[in-house]
């Protein structure tokens, strides 16, 4: 997985540590394509508990049209993945010949898959074990993001609610991974005002996180991953706190903010289910899904990915479980977007699972969807969210030691790509414009190399620079 922490890792990175983190947003052009029981409130008091809406100012994540698409003969890409169509003497042929040599870099080991295509013509430029199912690490987030946007749309927002009943305020999680302490404070202010008008000064506080059933840990996650790399998956969290029980933690923040408003909180925060008869008191709507996806991809945020995985399941009428997320992603990729899923196995949304397997050709085809004008509205945030080589604050920033050696520095600002790192698996998939001025889609995934992870990443960056054409 890619680290989501803003603190860069030491150099070199330790081999056993899990970690799962382009040109700018303009994409390729396209010629086609504990207290006493409280008595029930009076009708007047219930009316005093009015619903108040707090809506944050959403980030300005663009979803402008870009261009690239697989043509109607998409199915031929998988079968031709290892059969380049580059014309003799062309820049594409040079890319292919250079990649043939550089993929044998001993730092990459022998278990590597790669695929490169021209984004406008859909021509296969290069393939090397492109259909081999490999552990994708955080490149799995590309599938998760595409499915979430496909199911819910970029303007979708998640709602966190507060309801009142029987002397208890319940904070109800709705899958908002960008919920902040300030947002919770506003919920508390609104709730306290309603309580005051109703003549209520003391309440119990509980959290309702029943939106996501157990289990909260995925198949293939190592014990050392949580809570720092990923927390047990729940639909309620404040400020992305890395704790084992994000729901109760959020409830405690809410209780503290209530106390700041002069409300007496009776007893400890508990977990419980809200009831249909509870009175709505306050709600908060998240930023748009496009901004959530942008944050997830730029930072490679595992927790956002796992939440979106489950919310996608709900959006397709499935239980919000890991199994529901897997089924939803497969349905959207295959049935809505026509992506063949040979060798595709996904057990979580973040790519932390060591059981996940995705071939390089499939990752490239998922990426290409995001640059297709037909899908620009829904899937443009995937393209816009890709880290850019040399972009500080992203997982391709200089603080991570990416694109900083003699062979790849030339591609700073010229490559947009999703990173992925687990012990035993490193991936890099994205977009770049090559020497002929045409956009290329690429995916490189290696497993089982015994080289230092920093050295493997340098070699991967060199492959991307080769597609750009600046290392010749």
Confidence at residue 85, expressed as pLDDT on a 0 to 100 scale = 56
Q: Where are the beta strands (DSSP E) in 385-438?
A: 415-422, 425-433
The pLDDT value recorded for residue 17 is: 40
Mean pLDDT of 37-42: 44
| Claim to verify: residue 348 and residue 439 sit in the same structural domain | yes
Task: Using alpha carbons, select from 331, 311, 303, 332 the residue that is nearest to residue 218.
Answer: 303
Locate all alpha helices (DSSP H) within 103-245, ordered by sequence: 140-152, 181-198
103 lies in the same domain as 217: no
Same domain (yes/no): 136, 206: no
Average pLDDT of span 73-79: 36
As a whole number, mean pLDDT of residues 41-51 equals: 42
Count the neighbouring beta carbons within 10 Å of the beta carbon of residue 392: 10
CATH (domain of 113): 3.40.710.10
Last residue of a domain, one of 286, 319, 345: 286
**In which band, very low, low, confident or very high, does the pLDDT at 13 lie, cut at 50, 70 and 90?**
very low
Q: Which two tokens stand for residue 472?
A: 């010749």
Residues 401 and 264 in one domain: no
168 and 142 part of one domain: no
Q: In 3-state terms, what secondary structure has residue 227?
A: coil
With a cut of 60, say whether residue 146 has pLDDT above it. Answer: yes
202 belongs to a structural domain: yes
Cis upstream peptide for 223 (omega within 30°): no
Q: What are phi and psi of 445, to 5 degrees?
A: -135, 120
Mean pLDDT, residues 413-418: 98
The angle formed by the CA atoms of residues 424, 425 and 428, to the nearest 5 degrees, is: 155
Total number of domains constituting the chain: 2
Q: Are 345 and 435 found together in one domain?
A: yes
Average pLDDT over residues 235-240: 98
Q: How confident is the model at residue 471 (pLDDT cuts 50, 70, 90)?
A: confident
If one counts every other C-beta atom within 10 angstroms of the C-beta of residue 437, the result is 8
Any domain includes 37: no
Q: What pLDDT shows up at residue 371? A: 82
**Residue 373 included in any domain:** yes
Q: Looking at residue 8, what is its pLDDT?
A: 36
Structural domain span for residue 437: 75-154+291-468
**Percentage, residues of the chain above pLDDT 70:** 81
Indicate if 368 and 443 belong to the same structural domain.
yes
Q: Do residues 166 and 276 share a domain? A: yes
Residue with tokens 């300005």: 60
3-state secondary structure of 400: helix
pLDDT of res. 217: 96
Q: What is the CATH number of the domain that holds 206?
A: 3.50.80.20
Rounded to whole angstroms, how far apart are CA atoms 146 and 389?
22
- Look at residues 237, 262, 286 and tell me which one is the last residue of a structural domain: 286
Q: What is the pLDDT of residue 122?
A: 85
Q: Give the pLDDT of residue 56.
A: 33
143 vs 63: which has the higher pLDDT: 143
DSSP labels, 267-336: S--EE----TTSEEEEEEEPPPHHHHHHHHHHHT-HHHHHHHHHHHHHHTTS-SSHHHHHHHHHHIIIII
Q: Are residues 409 and 433 in the same domain?
A: yes
**b/e burial code for range 47-59 (CB count within 10 A of at least 16 → b):** ebbeebebebebe
In a domain, 297, yes or no: yes
CB 31 within 8 A of CB 373: no
User: Is residue 209, in this structure, part of any structural domain at all?
Assistant: yes
Residue 84 lies in a domain: yes
Give yes or no: residues 209 and 259 share one domain.
Answer: yes
What's the chain's average pLDDT? 86
Residue 401 shares a structural domain with residue 254: no
Quote the pLDDT of residue 256: 98
Q: How far is CA 79 from CA 124, 128, 310, 343, in A?
A: 11, 12, 32, 13
Task: Note the pLDDT of residue 413.
Answer: 97
**24 falls within a domain:** no
Q: Which one of 286, 319, 341 terminates a domain? A: 286
Higher pLDDT, 439 or 16: 439
Q: Work out the pLDDT band at 89, boundaries 50, 70, 90.
A: low
**Residue 148 resides in a domain:** yes
Q: Are residues 326 and 455 in the same domain?
A: yes
Q: How far apart are CA 102 and CA 194, in angstroms?
A: 66
Give the pLDDT of residue 29.
Answer: 36
Q: What is the pLDDT of residues 423-462, one digit of tens each?
A: 999 999 999 999 999 999 999 999 999 999 999 999 999 9
Q: In this predicted model, what pLDDT tens digit does every residue of 106-133 receive, in sequence order?
A: 999 999 999 999 988 889 999 999 999 9
């Amino acid at each position: 997985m890619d680290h989501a922490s803003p603190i860069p890792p030491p150099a070199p990175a330790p081999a056993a540590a899990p970690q799962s983190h382009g040109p700018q947003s303009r994409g390729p052009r396209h010629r086609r394509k504990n207290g006493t029981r409280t008595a029930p409130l009076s009708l007047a008091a219930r009316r005093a508990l009015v619903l108040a809406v707090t809506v944050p100012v959403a980030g300005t994540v663009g979803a402008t049209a870009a261009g690239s698409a697989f043509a109607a003969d998409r199915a031929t890409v998988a079968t031709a993945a290892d059969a380049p169509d580059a014309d003799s003497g062309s820049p594409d042929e040079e890319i292919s010949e250079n990649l043939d040599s550089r993929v044998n870099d001993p730092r990459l080991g022998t278990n590597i898959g790669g695929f490169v295509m021209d984004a406008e013509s859909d021509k296969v430029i290069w393939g090397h074990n492109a259909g081999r199912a490999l552990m994708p690490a955080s490149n799995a987030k590309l599938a998760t993001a595409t499915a979430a946007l496909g199911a819910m749309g970029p303007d979708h927002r998640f709602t966190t609610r507060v309801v009142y009943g029987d002397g208890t305020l319940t904070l109800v999680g709705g899958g908002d991974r960008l919920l902040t302490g300030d947002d919770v404070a506003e919920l508390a202010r609104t709730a306290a005002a309603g309580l005051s008008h109703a003549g209520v000064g003391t309440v119990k506080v509980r959290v309702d996180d029943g939106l996501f059933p157990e289990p909260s840990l995925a198949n293939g996650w190592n014990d050392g991953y949580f809570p720092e790399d990923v927390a047990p998956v729940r639909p309620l969290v404040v400020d992305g706190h890395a704790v084992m029980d994000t729901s109760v933690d959020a409830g405690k923040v809410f209780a503290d903010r209530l106390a700041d408003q002069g409300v007496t909180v009776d007893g400890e925060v508990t977990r419980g289910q809200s009831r249909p008869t509870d009175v709505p008191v306050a709600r908060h709507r998240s930023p748009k899904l496009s901004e959530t996806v942008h944050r997830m991809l730029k930072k490679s945020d595992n927790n956002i990915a796992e939440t979106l995985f489950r919310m996608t399941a709900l959006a397709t009428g499935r239980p919000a479980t890991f199994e529901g997320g897997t089924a939803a992603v497969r349905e959207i990729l295959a049935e809505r977007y026509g992506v063949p899923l040979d060798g595709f196995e996904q057990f979580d949304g973040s790519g932390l699972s060591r059981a996940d397997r995705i071939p390089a050709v499939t990752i490239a085809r998922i990426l290409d969807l995001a640059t297709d004008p037909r899908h620009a509205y829904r899937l443009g945030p995937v393209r816009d969210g890709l880290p850019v080589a040399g972009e500080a604050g992203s997982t391709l920033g200089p603080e991570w030691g990416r694109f900083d050696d003699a062979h790849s520095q030339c591609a700073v600002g010229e490559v947009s790509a999703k990173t992925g790192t687990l012990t035993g698996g490193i991936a890099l998939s994205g977009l770049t414009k090559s020497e002929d001025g045409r956009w290329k889609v690429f995916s490189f995934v290696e497993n089982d190399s015994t080289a230092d992870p920093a050295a493997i990443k340098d070699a991967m960056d060199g492959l991307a620079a080769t597609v750009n054409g600046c290392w010749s």
